[in-house]
Chain A
């Protein structure tokens, strides 16, 4: 008998195919095999995910995992690398579908909010069990501070402490203008925000038409990242004790904010964020002082090659020189299906002193282990002969950790929505601060 395909049969077949496809899509995928090699029967498979910040950084991750596999032949790592911008969304979706990797990286801004969601393994007992290998006290408190959430639980190990903020200066511009370089002020304890402002003003140059030829300095957008350097320098904590109020409205912070529109619009010694974002004044030799971070040094090694430059820590407020450590983290999947022991072995290895130094030397970020700072700065001074490394120990010691809050994303959205208007002089600083503070208080109050 000849079978004819009726419309109804076609729809049945189609729906069947859709169902099968949907089922297949829901099935747990097997991770990619690195190098196409099949694991031996004695090997345990472990999945590990990280985000890529470019090809060079990705190779470093691959190499770091290679080190682990060499030292632990019983493990075969399924490597999952994702573009940085999609990492958070993809990993959270993987958790949602019960398919998250055994261990993975987490950004500084999100580690507490992910811990708040309850997806990360509580590592406290693992740290206690392997106390000598982990050597918790051997890491900077600024780095380990971010590993606790809530305060009595360890939910992460530092991956890298790359967020030391630097004020990089172009020596030639200082020499041409006859202005003393910041290191002299640093050595006499006179490198303050006021000194920064005065130097920026003195170094800014205009042509006959009033167009800027040399930019004095830059600030970011007075975003959370920038404020992590400014607020502690005035002795102002980021939040009140209960973490119910962001201290943006502290008088000292407001005064610092009020300085920026004057520098941008009156003295014209600071570029607007849009100006400095569109053109690399620093690399073009047209900016005297550039605020940047250690993670940018690999790029600067190339783009600033022709320039004579050095760096100092950020200026001090009426309290101290503050710095900032935005350490990224490694965590273990807290789900029951995850290989928790294997995940812990992997991140413990990547956190070990030898791997920390290896990573810091290749990625330029400060090591998170105290014992590695000397070796790191000595070696970097060989690669980038800069006197600024002499401050590295003090910078690392005094660094302020990225303040742990579970509502980081919400805070950033509210702050960045308006703070730029204050900085650029579009709206009065007091008005913006009051508006942002009210909205933040409200958000924090209603945050679940």
Chain B
């Protein structure tokens, strides 16, 4: 039954079609489409593809903006991998941030989405409230969180003091600065929450009804129906989460400046420093390529692994 409904819902669109001459209206539609997409395409070529290609060249040069770029072969990459401990520090800090914050964000986002998926009063207002942080400026939010984490006046340490705990100096402690920024990252779960909510609302209710008839409780329904059915949403969130977490910058720049003792030296902050503080554009370009390759590799790994854990309603394993 599931097979049939899935097939009906997503009819295959892969049949080869013979080429037909376009009608005048179709041509006009296509032209309109290109014109609409034109500004974006131009922007993409100028501001994304252009710098991307330029960085590819500059990564093999010694370049400080002011003088001519000197080709240095693989020197920048060699230095990065074998002579720059801060490269590995930045990679480690960013990876820890990603490994801890992404699952936490996903779990909390999903949990809140499930709560908001229930029929409760004020649902629209709650959704708006949860989504609100996602539209605020990163710098403004960072400044706000500096107050939240203040050792002496911050609300976190105040709450801890109510239960007799003396909170640490969150942002100036080498031990606590990164956990503090990871905690702060949960502030933005609202954007993911909306997508989870859409996913949850797309799960057919008849599946739950059938499970209930079979005597399934809440947990089995969650594990056996909800999670598999929203697994494409989880995949999407995971990939977006990886890309976002590995590109984290603002918090480290505004709140801790990468310190103390490099405890929050995020990769992009280190890249920015090399590029715009020290004018080592060649080295910064090599760093940019390193993080691109890292993100790409992780994304491909996740995509490959998705065959084992992501369930598409229109796809039955073993059949084309």
Report A's interface with B, CB cutoff 8 A. 4-5, 7, 10, 14, 17-18, 21-22, 89, 92-93, 95-96, 117-119, 272, 274-275, 278-279, 409-410, 413, 416-418, 420-421, 424, 426-427, 435
Q: Which residues of A lie under 8 Å from residue B66 when comparing CB positions?
A: 92, 95-96, 117-119
Interface string of B249-265 (1 = CB under 8 A from A): 00000000111111000
Which of A18, A272, A413, A417 has most B Cβ within 10 Å? Answer: A417
Report B's interface with A, CB cutoff 8 A. 27, 30-31, 34, 38, 41-42, 45-46, 64-67, 146-147, 150-153, 169, 171-174, 257-262, 273, 276-279
Using A420-B172, A424-B169 as known contacts, say yes or no to A413 and B46 having CB atoms under 8 A apart.
Answer: no
| Residue of chain A at shortest CB distance from B273 | A413
> CB distance A14 to B273 under 8 Å?
no
Partner of A117, one of B64, B172, B276: B64
> CB distance A278 to B147 under 8 Å?
yes
Q: Which residues of B lie under 8 Å from residue A417 when comparing CB positions?
A: 257-262
Say what secondary structure dominates the interface of chain A: helix
> CB distance B152 to A272 under 8 Å?
yes
Partner of A416, one of B27, B150, B257: B257
Partner of A7, one of B34, B147, B171, B258: B34
Say what secondary structure dominates the interface of chain B: loop
Q: In the complex, how many angstroms separate the beta carbon of B166 from the nearest chain A beta carbon?
A: 12
Using A18-B45, A95-B65, A409-B277 as known contacts, say yes or no to A426 and B172 having CB atoms under 8 A apart.
Answer: yes
> CB distance A18 to B260 under 8 Å?
no
Q: Which residues of A lie under 8 Å from residue B65 when comparing CB positions?
A: 92-93, 95-96
Partner of B173, one of A18, A118, A418, A426: A426
Q: Which residues of A lie under 8 Å from residue B173 when comparing CB positions?
A: 426
> CB distance B169 to A426 under 8 Å?
yes
| Residue of chain B at shortest CB distance from A412 | B277
Q: Which residues of A lie under 8 Å from residue B277 when comparing CB positions?
A: 409, 413
> CB distance B172 to A424 under 8 Å?
yes
> CB distance A274 to B34 under 8 Å?
no
Q: Which residues of A lie under 8 Å from residue B34 when comparing CB positions?
A: 7, 10
Q: Which residues of B lie under 8 Å from residue A89 when comparing CB positions?
A: 276
Q: How far is the CA of A92 from the CA of B273 in the complex (A)?
A: 15
| Residue of chain B at shortest CB distance from A96 | B65
Q: In the complex, how many angstroms separate the beta carbon of A92 from the nearest chain B beta carbon?
A: 6
| Residue of chain A at shortest CB distance from B31 | A5
Query: Would you give 17 A-B contacts (Cβ < 8 Å), ordered by A?
Result: A21-B42, A22-B46, A89-B276, A92-B65, A92-B66, A117-B64, A117-B66, A274-B171, A275-B150, A275-B151, A275-B152, A275-B153, A413-B258, A416-B259, A418-B259, A420-B259, A424-B172
Q: In the complex, how many angstroms separate the beta carbon of A56 from the nearest chain B beta carbon?
A: 24
Q: Which residues of A lie under 8 Å from residue B169 when comparing CB positions?
A: 272, 274, 424, 426
Q: In the complex, how many angstroms separate the beta carbon of B52 from the nearest chain A beta carbon?
A: 15
Seed contacts A92-B279, A118-B66, A275-B153; 11 additional CB < 8 Å A-B pairs? A21-B42, A89-B276, A119-B66, A272-B151, A274-B169, A409-B277, A413-B258, A413-B277, A417-B261, A421-B260, A424-B169
